[in-house]
């Protein structure tokens, strides 16, 4: 079984955060998060993404999957892994690491459920960039084999090796003359 990668439309919908995309392929996923009772006087719960499900789950966002005394698992909602031709080196390196990961980004919202799914990415550089603002919950989770296979096929089709070219500084004194 392989994850379904769709061609990415270049349409613009007013009010849509993801107004247009240069992605060549998109892999729909469902994000599963865990709510665990915190061992803290300041927090009631600790939230953490724990897995993704390949495809479009039919459950409504924030459907409870399982519960026990300390933890509750929820289907948090849909995410999309966008694949770009220019990032194939990062995807390839992630897959070659021996333990490929996905970065799941959740953003706290004041009303409704605790978090919204902002992004799911297989690009380590993009995942790290989401940590810069410091307000989002960014966690790595193991990449399911079916998604790794789809990304591997994308890399095989679109990767172009680019030689590293070191740039030289211009001598400032030459510019002043």
Tell me: the pLDDT tens digits for 94-127? 999 999 999 999 999 888 778 999 999 999 999 9
Q: Is 175 within a domain?
A: no
Q: Let me know if residue 2 belongs to a domain.
A: no
Range of the domain at 73: 22-160
| In a domain? residue 168 | no
Examine residue 15 and state whether it is found in any structural domain, yes or no: no
pLDDT score recorded for residue 94: 96
62 — alpha (psi -120 to 50), left (phi > 0) or beta? left
Q: Looking at residues 39-66, what average pLDDT do you find? A: 91
**Domain annotation covers residue 6:** no
Residue 29 domain-assigned (yes or no): yes
What tokens appear for 174 in the block?
Answer: 């030459």
Q: At residue 158, what are phi and psi to the nearest 5 degrees?
A: -115, -10
Both tokens assigned to 172: 């400032």
Segment 23-35 shows an average pLDDT of: 94
147 located within any domain: yes
Question: Which residues, in sequence order, are bridge partners of residue 26?
Answer: 6, 82
- The mean pLDDT of 9-28, rounded to a whole number, is 61
Average pLDDT, the chain: 85
Percent of the chain past pLDDT 70, that is, above it, reads: 85
**CB-based contacts of 127: which residues, under 8 Å, 6+ apart?**
101, 103, 105, 121, 138, 140
Number of domains in the chain: 1
Residue 8 included in any domain: no
């Amino acid at each position: 079984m392989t994850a379904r990668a769709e061609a990415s439309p270049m349409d613009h919908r007013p009010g849509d955060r993801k107004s247009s995309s240069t992605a060549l392929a998109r892999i729909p996923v469902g994000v599963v998060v865990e709510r665990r009772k915190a061992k803290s006087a300041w927090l009631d719960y600790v939230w953490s993404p724990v897995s993704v499900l390949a495809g479009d789950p039919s459950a409504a966002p924030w459907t409870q999957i399982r519960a026990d005394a300390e933890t509750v698992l929820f289907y948090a909602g849909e995410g999309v892994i966008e694949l770009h031709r220019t990032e194939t080196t990062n995807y390839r390196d992630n897959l070659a690491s021996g333990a490929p990961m996905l970065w799941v980004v959740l953003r706290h919202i004041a009303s409704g459920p605790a978090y919204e799914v902002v992004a799911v990415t297989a690009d380590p550089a993009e995942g790290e960039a989401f940590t810069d603002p410091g307000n989002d919950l960014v966690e790595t989770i193991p990449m399911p084999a079916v998604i790794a296979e789809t990304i591997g096929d994308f890399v095989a089709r679109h990767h172009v090796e680019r030689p590293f070219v070191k740039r030289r500084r211009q001598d400032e004194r030459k510019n002043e003359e």
